[in-house]
Each structure stands twice: as structure tokens, then as C-alpha cells.
Copies of this chain bind each other. A is one copy, B any other.
Amino acid sequence: MSRPPRARAPLKEAALELFVRHGVHATGIREIARHAQCSEAALYRHWPSKEALITSLFEEHLAEVVALLDEAVSAPGDLAERIRAATTAVLRLYDDQPLVFRFVLLVRYEIAASLPDDRRMPQDVLEELMRAHDPDQAVLLAAAAMGIFLQVAAHVIFGRLPGPLERYCDQVTELVLRVVGLPG
């Protein structure tokens, strides 16, 4: 029998942190391996290339976000309550797992081209939510809601707004409700 993998998890953690801290391209294999306390070659046993590591990290964490949103919007209640649940879920994600949130935020545009078209994205969840309310503008409303989430989060990340994000739950929820046309 062979020994269990020992380097895989540390490599993922190190990569996530360094990618977020210094950027995907500014982070080298060497640095990741050093932080994970293993050899550079170990990485290539688990992922065929650096890009594959980035993509797999992204997909994994994106799936987390999608699952989180799916759960939130499928909670009982009317549209307003679901929007509140989605807002809360997203904002909490940043507070709980800031690395995951920032990673997804940072690399999404770079990754975009290499993702399959049918990949389920956070946008899709919001669009489905909005579609029941206003089918004609669902895409636009979902985009607006997502834009509000992300930009507020970006403000907190870059220090324009004080954290934690969760403190803006009520306010952001209210903004999204207004966008949708359901002011409190």
C-alpha cells in the first residue's frame, strides 16, 4: 500500500493564500511549495500544471459559493426574505472565508475564458431567483444585485468601508430590494 497524500491540502491552502495576497501570476510554484513545506514537484503529482491548480481551486470554491446561494434562495419565505437570505449568505462568506471570497473575486475574469459555458455560476442562481419576479429583466436585476454585493465587498477589502461585511447586511438587503422594486 502507498502512503496517504500529505502535501495536497497544504498546497491548496498555501496557494489560496498566496494567490490572494500577491496575485495569481506573481505567485510562483516555488513559493507555494515553500509555504506548504513540500517540494515543488509534489504539486505536479496532484495537479498537472499551475494553471490546472488555479482552475481547480476556482471551480471548487465557486461551487461552494453556488451551493451557499442555492441553499439561501431555496429557504422558505417570499422574495424579499430570499433576497435577504442570499445577501446574508454572501456577506457572511466573506467574513468567514475571506480568502475564498477574495480569490473568486480576483481571478474570475482571468479564468472566465477557460470555464465551460454550462458551468453553473452565482449569477445563475440570482437570475433564477429574479426570473419568478420579473422575467423580462431577470438578467439585469441579477447583475445589479451581484454588482452591489461585489462592489461593497471590494470596498471593505480595500478599506474604503470598515468591516466586517456582515454589518452591511440590512443596508445591502434594502438596496437590492429597492433595485428589484420591493422597498421595505
Contacts and interface: CB of A to CB of B under 8 A. Distances in A.
A74 interface: no
A42 interface: no
Nearest to A107: B109
A63 interface: no
A161 B139 contact: yes
Interface in A26-84: 26
Interface stretch (A10-18, A85-93, A152-160): A152-160
A120 interface: no
A183 B180 CA distance: 11
A140 B109 contact: no
Contacts of A109: 105-106, 154
A15 B143 CA distance: 30
A169 interface: no
Interface size class of A (residues with CB under 8 A): 35 or more
A97 interface: no
Interface in A138-184: 139-141, 143-144, 146-152, 154-155, 158, 160-161, 168, 171-172, 175, 178-179, 181, 183
A154 to B, nearest CB: 8
A160 B106 contact: no
Contact of A171 (B110, B140, B168): B140
B161 A140 contact: yes
Interface string A117-153: 0000001000000000000010111011011111110
5 contacts: A139-B155, A146-B147, A147-B148, A175-B179, A178-B183
Given A140-B175, A143-B155, A181-B183, 4 more contacts: A25-B26, A109-B154, A147-B149, A175-B179
